Structure 1
Amino acid sequence: MIPEISIIVPVYNVEKYLEQCLDSILAQTFKNFEVILVNDGSTDSSGEICDRYTKIDSRIMVFHKINDGVSNTRNLGVQKSKGKYVVFIDSDDYIMKNYCKILIESIEELKSDIVVCKMVREIPKKEDLNYTKQFFNRVESLIKMFQGNLYRFSLSGKIYRADIIKKYKFPKGMIHEDMGTVYKYFLEAKNIVYIDYIGYVYFHRENSILTKKYNKNRLDAFIHWKEILELTKNEPQDLVKEVYKRYLYWIVDNIFYILSIDEKRDKKLEYLLFIKKNINNIKKLFYYNKNSLKHITILFLFLVNPKLLCLTVIK
């Protein structure tokens, strides 16, 4: 039987969390799914846990490969998937028991291309099945994404039509890979549904990519931003405005992050000069953010002299 949903789980050194993740998937009230585990060269017991679960449930399959990053790991999972819809779950996260049921019912009932649910950091004491739905066209859904109030660029907490997912590969060797792909899915979609159902629980590990010490890999985001600005430049002005507002926020946030890290001045300046070099469409940044006086002032001072800005920090 062809599965309705392909659940793709990238795995790398998550032995402390993996069983809870997989148990939450096997506890789903919706049953017609496949689970694709892709072990990205784990050096702990994660690979053995994956193998053990394939013997527990025939819907689970595992692919072991050498470590070459989460993008290639997800790309392999997508390549192996057979479902009509795709769900991504990080291996240190957890889903509520009606997660798949509610997402697939919503996407089919409303003939949507993508359904987004609410994500939280702590497992709710009780699963609340009373939720509302909001229907967005592609432009409205992208505006909501860049505003970041209902949902953001996260790959998780969503169900997608598989044919949309398979049009775009995750960027090899880069972090923020969801930032480089999810907006493309939304650009491709005709309509999106947001439900305020709390179905996905995510955790921040101390040694995860985004909680590690700042390094130049974090600046991959600016490569993604170049593409975002290019692909959205001809969209309606309401959307373009939100893109540039989020872009400015990202720039300022990274400037302050770099200035606050425990790193030598030369290294901080290297990061800041990279940002300055890679800032796109400065005139549009100022134009679309003319009411954000604080952020615009910071950007202006940064563009005038990032070295002086760096020297003001004692560390």
Structure 2
Amino acid sequence: METSQKLSKIESEPYSDRPLISVVTCFLNVEEFLEESIKSVIAQKYKNWELLLVDDGSTDKSTEIAKSFSSQYPNILYHEHKGHLNHGLSESRILALEHAKGEIISFLDGDDIWTPDFLLEAVKEKQENSVPVYCEATKYWFSWKFPDREDAVSQVGTEGNRTYSPPELIYRLYPLATGSSPAICSILVDKYTLEKHGGFNAAFKGMYEDQVLLTKLYLNENIYISTVCNNIYRQRHDSLVYTARSRGTYLKDRKFFLDWFEEYVQSIKNTDKKLKKMLNHALFPFRYPKVYYLKEVFPGKVQRKLKKLFR
């Protein structure tokens, strides 16, 4: 059966024959983008979904926008933390999962969007390959702000259109390897799988929330990587990554994550020697900064100065 025929078959099936998907959208002061994000979910060809809008203490019109959609659509549900307080992205996702009724969970942050085919094609690929986790390529969206800058489709940093067994992806992708990790808006994961591995970690409040989840999945589950791209990741200069780098907190955040990673590996009694070697390599600059400087940083500086002298 051709792909278009398969999609048409799924699209025409009654809701009861398709799994309910809980779409988790956490947001904080994104009044400029939230409506577009919500409308991209409403426009999905796959119709058996619920959208959980979790307000992480917004002080702009985001709250009003979310409540307006929730009042109009019975499958769009508004949630917030007690007292309308800000608790961070991880706790907001944890709150959403407590209320999620879907068999499958997906994530769409309040400034990103999906094409109408995202859920339909992702469910098809996930079901055909009988995996608990599906990921795909992501379009990095620059042109929304800079019309002259070309958008770029980023494939997950390994061979696509195949299933990976644990812990293959940990050897290939960030945060320990150099391959691009999947964006959170490109993922479908069974709710049971999230619950089994503990999902998100409330200790992460600004960076590495996604990597905590992905690390658990890489180490424990079969994952299908697709080259399809139906999700669009808006690039902003005030995003968490850009902010961490500009404030100089990125390395501190990375060390916090790597320390957690080491503890997690020990907690699941993983004794993989290659993983241990990669993790030790990643931790080396933080554990032995002077040695790292002398071995890795200083020689490079000397080499660059010599090149300038003998030009």
TM above 0.5, yes or no, is: yes
Give how far 1:105 is off. 1.5
User: CA offsets per residue over residues 287-309 of structure 1, 9 Å max, x none?
Assistant: xxxxxxx995228999xxxxxxx
1:131-210 equivalence runs, <5 A: 133-146=161-174, 147-152=177-182, 154-166=183-195, 167-172=198-203, 174-176=205-207, 177-189=209-221, 191-210=222-241
Letter in 1 for 2:185: S
**Distance across 2 between alignment mates of 1:247 and 1:80:** 37
- Assess, with a 3 A threshold, how the Cα gap between structure 1 residues 240 and 36 changes in structure 2: closer, same or farther: same
- Assess, with a 3 A threshold, how the Cα gap between structure 1 residues 235 and 120 changes in structure 2: closer, same or farther: farther
Map of 1:63 onto structure 2: 79
Whether 1:19 aligns to 2:38 is no
Map of 1:30 onto structure 2: 46
Map of 1:223 onto structure 2: 256
**Distance across 1 between alignment mates of 2:280 and 2:237:** 31
User: CA offsets per residue over residues 127-151 of structure 1, 9 Å max, x none?
Assistant: 9xxxx61111111122232334252
Whether 1:72 aligns to 2:91 is yes
Give how far 1:224 is off. 1.5
Identity of aligned residues (%): 20
Letter in 1 for 2:173: M
**Distance across 1 between alignment mates of 2:111 and 2:129:** 31
**Distance across 1 between alignment mates of 2:69 and 2:227:** 31
Map of 2:62 onto structure 1: 46
Letter in 1 for 2:71: K
Give how far 1:87 is off. 0.5
Letter in 2 for 1:120: K
Q: Secondary structure at 1:28's aligned position in 2?
A: coil
**Distance across 2 between alignment mates of 1:143 and 1:156:** 22
**Distance across 2 between alignment mates of 1:150 and 1:71:** 21
Letter in 1 for 2:254: A
- Assess, with a 3 A threshold, how the Cα gap between structure 1 residues 214 and 55 changes in structure 2: closer, same or farther: same
**Distance across 1 between alignment mates of 2:227 and 2:46:** 19
Give how far 1:162 is off. 0.6
Whether 1:84 aligns to 2:85 is no
For the 8 Å contact 1:53–1:60, the answer to whether it is kept is: yes
Whether 1:298 aligns to 2:301 is no
Map of 2:272 onto structure 1: 236
For the 8 Å contact 1:40–1:64, the answer to whether it is kept is: yes
Give how far 1:173 is off. 5.4
Letter in 2 for 1:221: R
For the 8 Å contact 1:174–1:217, the answer to whether it is kept is: no
**Distance across 1 between alignment mates of 2:217 and 2:61:** 34
Give how far 1:163 is off. 1.3
Task: Extract unaligned runs of 5+ from structure 2.
Answer: 1-14, 144-149, 154-159, 302-311
1:114-125 equivalence runs, <5 A: 114-122=133-141
**Distance across 2 between alignment mates of 1:40 and 1:298:** 40
Give how far 1:5 is off. 0.8
Q: Secondary structure at 1:160's aligned position in 2?
A: strand
Q: Secondary structure at 2:225's aligned position in 1?
A: strand
User: What is the RMSD of the two structures over their aligned residues, measured on CA atoms?
Assistant: 3.3
Letter in 2 for 1:199: N
Task: Extract unaligned runs of 5+ from structure 1.
Answer: 252-275, 287-293, 303-315
Aligned residue-pair number: 258
Give how far 1:208 is off. 2.4
Map of 1:96 onto structure 2: 115
Letter in 1 for 2:122: L
Q: Secondary structure at 1:22's aligned position in 2?
A: helix
Report the more deviating stretch, 133-142 or 202-211. Answer: 202-211
